[in-house]
Structure 1
Amino acid sequence: MRISALLPSILIGAVSSARSMTPMAALAGAHLAGRPTPGRLILLGHPLFTFGALAMGVGELFGDKMKSAPDRTVFLGLLARVMSAGIAGSALAPRGRERTGAALAILTAVPLAYLTLAGRERAMRRVGQTRSGLMEDALVVAAGAAVVGASVRRRGLG
Structure 2
Amino acid sequence: MKDDSLIFSALIGAVASARSMTPMATIAAARLLDRRTPGQLVLLDRPLFRNGALAMGVGELFGDKMKTAPDRTVFLGLLARVMSAGIAGAALAPRGRERAGALTAVATAVPLAYLTLAGRKRAMARMGQTRSGLIEDALVVAAGAAIVALAVRPSNGLQSR
Q: TM-score range by the shorter chain?
A: over 0.9
User: C-alpha distance in 2, partners of 1:103/1:154?
Assistant: 25
Matched residue pairs, number? 158
SS in 1 for 2:78: helix
User: C-alpha distance in 2, partners of 1:84/1:94?
Assistant: 18
Compute the displacement of 1:157 (Å): 2.1
User: C-alpha distance in 2, partners of 1:103/1:8?
Assistant: 12
- 1:23 — aligned with what? 23
Compute the displacement of 1:5 (Å): 1.4
> Deviations for 1:17-39, whole angstroms, at most 9, x for unmatched residues?
00000000000001110000000
- 1:116 — aligned with what? 116
- 1:33 — aligned with what? 33
Question: Where do 1:1-158 residues align within 5 Å?
Answer: 5-153=5-153, 155=155, 157=159
User: C-alpha distance in 1, partners of 2:134/2:54?
Assistant: 18
User: C-alpha distance in 2, partners of 1:146/1:23?
Assistant: 11
One-letter code aligned to 1:157 = Q
Structure 1 window deviating more from structure 2 (82-91 vs 145-154): it is 145-154
| Residues 3 and 94 in structure 2, CA contact (< 8 A), matched pair in contact too | no
User: C-alpha distance in 2, partners of 1:18/1:104?
Assistant: 16
User: C-alpha distance in 1, partners of 2:154/2:47?
Assistant: 25
User: C-alpha distance in 1, partners of 2:25/2:133?
Assistant: 18
> Deviations for 1:2-23, whole angstroms, at most 9, x for unmatched residues?
5971100000000000000000
User: C-alpha distance in 2, partners of 1:55/1:84?
Assistant: 14
> Deviations for 1:108-145, whole angstroms, at most 9, x for unmatched residues?
00000000000000000000000000000000000000
Q: 1:17 to 1:154 in 2, by over 3 A?
A: farther
Structure 1, unmatched stretches of 5+, are: none
Q: Percent identity?
A: 74
Hey, which of these two has a bigger chunk of helix by percent? 1
User: C-alpha distance in 2, partners of 1:135/1:120?
Assistant: 10
